[in-house]
Each structure stands twice: as C-alpha cells, then as structure tokens.
Chains A and B, each alone.
Chain A
C-alpha cells in the first residue's frame, strides 16, 4: 500500500481503525514477517494522530523497522537467541527521525540472524515466507521488511544492507529497496555486523514513498563518525541517462528472459551499452573475507555479562563466555565469526584480509572508470527468483547468490532494486547503481520506469 492510499483510508475510517485492521492482518498472516509487533504503542500513536497531535512528514504512517535497529524499550533481537531478551535503552538515529516525523512504528521485522544470510532461514524465529509463494523465502537478510510491504502489513519499512540485504528481499518480493551511499544515513543504533559495508535504507511500494523515507532518515549525526553530514532531498529531473549494462553480472535463464525484455524496453528511451568491470571476479570472495573479519571483531562483544543471552553460573571467563556464545549464536553466525577469526589470524592475514582490501581498491577504481562514461550501471539484482525454503543446503551456494549485490557495498556506492515484473509468478528485480551520493539520479530513473510501466509492483 502506498502512502497516498493509506492517507485516503485514514480519511475514511480514521487512523485508529486503519491501524487496528493492519494489526489484525499481521496477526492472521502466515508470512512470519514480524518478530515483535508494537500493538499498544501503535494504537496509542494512532489515537494521537486522530486527535491531531501527531505531526510531521510521516504523520500517522505505519513503518516497520528491521530488528537489528535499536528501538528504546522495544525488544531488538537481531533474530538471534543471543539478543532474544534485549531491550535497548536508546533509539537508533533513524528511529529518532521516524518519531520526530510522526511515523507509527508498527513492529520489528524478522531477518537472518545478525543479517548473516540471503533467505532469513538463519533467523532464530523461523523463516519469512514469500508473499507470492508461501513455500519460498522472502529473501534476506531484510526478509520481513520486504514481505510485510507486499501483504499490507506496513506502508514503509527500513532494512539494512551489508551485501545486498535490502536489494535481495526487494527483488524476491517485488518491491523497491535502496541501499544508500555509505555515510548518507547514520548507523548510530544499528547493531553492527560489518561496519565498513553496511547502511540502513528504505523499502517501499512506490518510488515517491521510497524517496520520502530516505529524506527522513538521511542527514547529519555526530554519533556516527563515518556519517557524511549530508541531507538528501528528492527533486524531479527528467534526463536521458547513459546506462552501462554490467557484463560480469549475470543470472539464470528464467531471470535472463525478463531482464533482456526489460533491456530492450529501456533501449527505446535510453542510451545503453555493455560495460566490463573485470575486478568483479574478486568481489564475492573479497566481500565475504571482509564481512566475516569485521563480524568476528564486532560480535566479540557478546560475552554474557552486560547484555544478551547468559548462563547462571559464572565460571572462569573462558569457560563462561565460550559456553554463552556456543548456546546463544546460531550456526551461520558461528561459521562467519570463526572464518573471520581465521582470516585475521597470524599467517593468514596477508593471504585473505589484506588481499580482500586490495581487491576492494580495484573494484572502486573499476566503478570510477565506468562512471566517467555512464550515469548509471545496471544488472539483475539477484541471479534467480526466490528460492524454495530449504533449497540452499550448503553455505557457499548461499554466498554465491550475493554475487551481483556485494560490489556496491565494497565500493560504498548507492544501489537500488527496482521491480520489473514476474517470471513464473515470482518477482524479478533490476539493480541500478549510481555514483557516490547520486541517490537522486537513482530515484529519478526508477520514477521514470514507474511512469513508463517498466517498473511495477504486483
């Protein structure tokens, strides 16, 4: 549901009634999109809106927030047993912004444990189901944020994207999702997985709504030392973009059919050429080495003392914390922490971590060269449609699904997934990547595609 449609409904029945209906929908839903539903708080806010007390750009709009984003006094679990009892004592910067603009936080969405996955199957709270086929996944890691949008279980949602975690569920669920330029949105209050790669970003069912949510969450925040101090505002520009189709980013036959159909549509309106980015062959390995290394350091904080899962008996430090971590973390999280520890350990640092950082330089330079010639780069967001639940049996096979999305994170570039239709009744996404802080161009391109009926939701 779009903001405009929601506003119409609220005019008709009032915000309290509209939110009540949405809460009932969530309760009956089979998607498992939420870990926590903020029933009482949401109804209280709706009442305030009806009394004219709630003001701002998002006044009265129900927004779903991914469960790795801190919400004061509201359970924030990262879909992990480790944080299944954790209630932050402060709000993330983006949550403060939502509240300042009058948004109603409807709930906390399900995800892969600590964002580590492409299917939400690693969630301690069970998999999120795809709204178009309940036997398939909604994508990950922000699967709940994607699925909830399709089933009208929220109007807007926030996801986070470390290696594609906004774009993948956007693609699998057929909605819009944008990973901003690194530094545009403050990460204060985002529970970290891989700091140098991740960004919080908006997800929505139309471009205008996506742009508005990005406007609200972007901006200066001194509490995140990598924050660029920039504010985003959407302005409509009509332009004939020069578009590069990334040769190295491919997909399976089903998706290719839809993708090529879209390319030939695009050729009618834009100047399109193929472009080769040779460093892409290093991207996936470099991404996983860096993400796992950063994870191994970030997740060292979970020691059972200050917060999170713990055990009663305080034995020696080593025994106590290694037991807490064995019981509190799921298998994929352990796998990544251990591989990260390995990549950073004596004798292997030069072979893995340092090489990955060098690959990162090559990837950035490749993109720089491409943007000298092109305004936008495009590719299929995901190499496949949504997987069947249980289809990916082996971790490496799951990692390979991220091959088209991780390069934008390594380079820190803004990238979005635009829904371009269906293959066998399952959504397919087009990925567009722009130069640093060129979100306005990305959104204008998506806006054009929406008007041209190349991009469509449902």
Chain B
C-alpha cells in the first residue's frame, strides 16, 4: 500500500516539487511497480554485488594535468558573479 503522504515524502527526498494531481498518479503507479518488486523478497541471503569489476588499487603517477579553466567551468551557467557560481540561499 502506498499512501499519498509517502509520495510527498519521496518527492521531498528527491527534491522535486509535485502537484496534487501528479502525486495521485505517481501513487497508483508506484503501488503497481513496488508490488512487482516484491519478487525480491524471495532472494536468498547471499553476499551482495555492488560492482561487477574486480579491480583493486589502480594506481597512476600523481602528475598535474590540464584542468578546466574558471571561464570554461562557468560557461554553462547564468548564475555567476566575479568568477564564481552564485547559488541560492542555503540557510534561512
């Protein structure tokens, strides 16, 4: 059972504003999808696989290379000031 308050809760976790209409649509869909995911309850207790590659400690020389310039980094934003990003207020 997915309740409407669960949908608002994950929307907040995901940092996405949703309308009441969207919330109800997602609620119905989530219920169906999560019910399908219940098949995983049958998975026996084995070790989890986080990653399929078995690479350990890949080292390289610690040499300085080319970095993006400040100008390049700021090329895709409209919120900038004196060579810095300008962000929204974090503390109220």
Query: Which A residues lie at the B interface, using CB under 8 A?
Result: 85-87, 89-90, 182-183, 196, 222, 225-226, 228-229, 281-282, 284-286, 288-289, 296, 300, 303-308, 310, 314-323, 325-326, 329, 334-335, 337-343, 345, 351-352, 354-362, 364, 394-396, 399, 411-412
Contacts and interface: CB of A to CB of B under 8 A. Distances in A.
B43 A282 contact: yes
Contact of B60 (A222, A300, A329, A364): A222
B26 A226 contact: no
B88 A315 contact: yes
B18 A326 contact: yes
B43 A355 contact: yes
B16 A317 contact: no
Interface of B: 6-7, 9-18, 22, 26, 29-30, 32-34, 36-37, 39-53, 55, 58, 60, 68, 72-73, 75-79, 85-90, 92
A317 B11 CA distance: 15
Interface centre among B51, B52, B75 (most CB of A within 10 A): B52
B47 A358 contact: yes
A317 B52 contact: no
B16 A325 contact: yes
B34 to A, nearest CB: 8
B24 to A, nearest CB: 14
Nearest to B42: A282
B37 A305 contact: no
B40 A396 contact: no
B53 to A, nearest CB: 5
A86 B9 CA distance: 30
B47 to A, nearest CB: 6
Given A320-B88, A337-B14, A314 B40 contact: no
A314 B88 CA distance: 5
Contacts, number: 174
Contact of B40 (A87, A228, A289, A310): A289
A54 B41 CA distance: 57
Main secondary structure of the interface of A (DSSP, over half): helix
Nearest to A87: B76
Contacts of B47: 358, 361
Interface centre among A284, A342, A394 (most CB of B within 10 A): A342
A286 B53 CA distance: 18
A335 B26 contact: yes
Contacts of B88: 305, 314-317, 319-321
A303 B90 CA distance: 13
Contacts of B45: 358
A89 B37 contact: no
Given A225-B58, A289-B37, A300 B79 contact: no
Contact of A326 (B9, B17, B68): B17
Contacts of A315: 88-89
Nearest to A360: B49
A394 B51 CA distance: 31
A282 B39 contact: yes
B38 to A, nearest CB: 8
Nearest to B89: A316
B9 to A, nearest CB: 8
Contact of B10 (A183, A300, A341): A341
A228 B55 contact: yes
Contacts of A345: 9-10, 13
Contacts of B34: 339, 342
Contacts of A412: 52-53
Contact of A306 (B7, B16, B48, B77): B77
Given A90-B68, A355-B40, A358-B46, A338 B11 contact: yes
B15 A325 contact: yes
B44 A358 contact: yes
B68 A89 contact: yes
A354 B33 contact: no
A286 B42 CA distance: 12
Nearest to A228: B53
Given A196-B51, A289-B37, A323 B46 contact: no
